[in-house]
Amino acid sequence: MSDSRTAPTLNDVAREAGVSTATVSRCLNAPDKVVEKTRIRVLKAVDRLGYTPNFAAQVMAAKRSFTIGAIIPTMDNAIFARGLQAFQDELRDRGYTLLVSSSVYSPEIEQEQIRALVARGADGLLLIGHDRPKEVYDYLDQHQVPALVAWSHLPDALLPSVGFDNHGALRGITEKVIDMGHRNIAMISGVTKGNDRARDRVKGLRDALRENGLDPEQTTVIETSYDIEQGALAFRDLMASTPRPTAIICGNDVLAVGAIREAHKLGIAVPDEVSITGFDDMELANVVTPSVTTVHVPHREMGRKAARELTEMVAGTSKGRSTCLDTSVVMRESLGPPPSQAR
């Protein structure tokens, strides 16, 4: 029994089973290298002692952890939840454990978390977006940790990515808005600094406007953090401006929902007086009234694909292929024609 106050070690098991530590280790990691009779005896000892391998020791000795780290900008809302859940599910199927931490949209914290995860022996890393200091990439390179970017797709970035075309998607929804007859369009965007996804979306808007003969310079873009309250505030500001926009394109569903809530509060009818669109197709978008016309992102597929790709990179069977997934516009209630259609 040894000291019951202390977790048993390989050694304890070896002694209990009357074999060497090497044999015990092999029983656990390469069972076919050990003859059945011994194996059974060892496994019984493992059971009897309630032995769990010490992970730190394992990592140190084997330099392999079967752990993947992911750093997402926030856990505060569900933007990344669905994709991440799928990512974890697929990782589990492949024998990996996922460790998640949140950077709270701060590059410094992200860097810190990356170090923490790498130091902890993560075999690979999932990061969101491409924007980060070069030194981070140097660090990953030096430590030889495979990393993959999700939620964004840039064909020739430093890291491979499994994501979607933020620019094209926003352009797509803008076109729908223009097709509806809107000419006076504004945007509530997420913070673009250090966030290539947000930036690309704004760019998508501008390009769509330009291509349709509208002046991007005359379009107000309010930048704010992804937060319902902030979306509400920004909406209020936009409604106070002249000429008042007839459509407001939001960089994400959270902002759109904030805008809708504020519209409700101000007694402004959506979409009759003003149209509002979102991005992400979160559950939220289909639950508010009116429901949000938005860009559907295949989160689950992205998560699974990312897991597959990253584990292959870790195993050395892939050098990291980038994938661009398709997005689509989901028409719901919050987008309609502008009010004075017949001016």
Interface of this chain with its own copies, residues 203 to 232, rule: CB under 8 A: 228
For residue 233, give the 3-state DSSP assignment.
helix
Q: Which one of 32, 37, 144, 267 is in contact with its own copies (CB under 8 A)? A: 144
| Distance from C-alpha of 294 to C-alpha of 316, rounded to nearest angstrom | 38
* Residue 134 near DNA by CB under 7 A: no
* Residue 2 near DNA by CB under 7 A: no
* Residue 53 near DNA by CB under 7 A: yes
Which one of DNA, its own copies, none is in contact with 23 (Cβ closer than 5 to 8 A by kind)?
DNA
| Distance from C-alpha of 306 to C-alpha of 328, rounded to nearest angstrom | 20
Interface of this chain with its own copies, residues 73 to 92, rule: CB under 8 A: 74-78, 81-82, 84-85, 88
| Distance from C-alpha of 197 to C-alpha of 203, rounded to nearest angstrom | 10
State in angstroms the smallest separation of the CB of 145 from its own copies: 10
- The answer to whether 139 touches 127, Cβ cutoff 8 Å, is no
Stretch that binds DNA, among 9-17, 87-95, 110-118, 128-136 (CB under 7 A): 9-17
**Cα distances (Å, whole numbers) of residue 106 to 45, 186, 193, 247:** 48, 27, 10, 31
What tokens appear for 259 in the block? 């805008």
| Residue 7 or 287 with smaller CB distance to DNA | 7
DSSP symbols for 60-88: HHHS---EEEEEES-SSSGGGHHHHHHHH
**Cα distances (Å, whole numbers) of residue 320 to 68, 82, 246, 312:** 15, 23, 44, 8
Closest CA to 321 of 332, 333, 308, 330: 308
Q: What are the two backbone dihedrals, phi and then psi, of residue 69, each rounded to the nearest 5 degrees?
A: -105, 145
Which one of its own copies, DNA, none is in contact with 37 (Cβ closer than 5 to 8 A by kind)?
DNA
Which one of DNA, its own copies, none is in contact with 264 (Cβ closer than 5 to 8 A by kind)?
its own copies
Q: Which one of 62, 269, 287, 315 is in contact with DNA (CB under 7 A)? A: 62
What residues line the site for its own copies (CB under 8 A)?
Answer: 4-7, 50, 52-60, 67, 74-78, 81-82, 84-85, 88, 97-102, 104, 113, 115-116, 118-121, 138-139, 142-144, 228, 257-258, 260-261, 264, 283-284, 286-289
What residues line the site for DNA (CB under 7 A)?
Answer: 7, 9-11, 18-23, 25-26, 28-29, 33-35, 37-39, 51, 53-54, 57-58, 60-62, 64
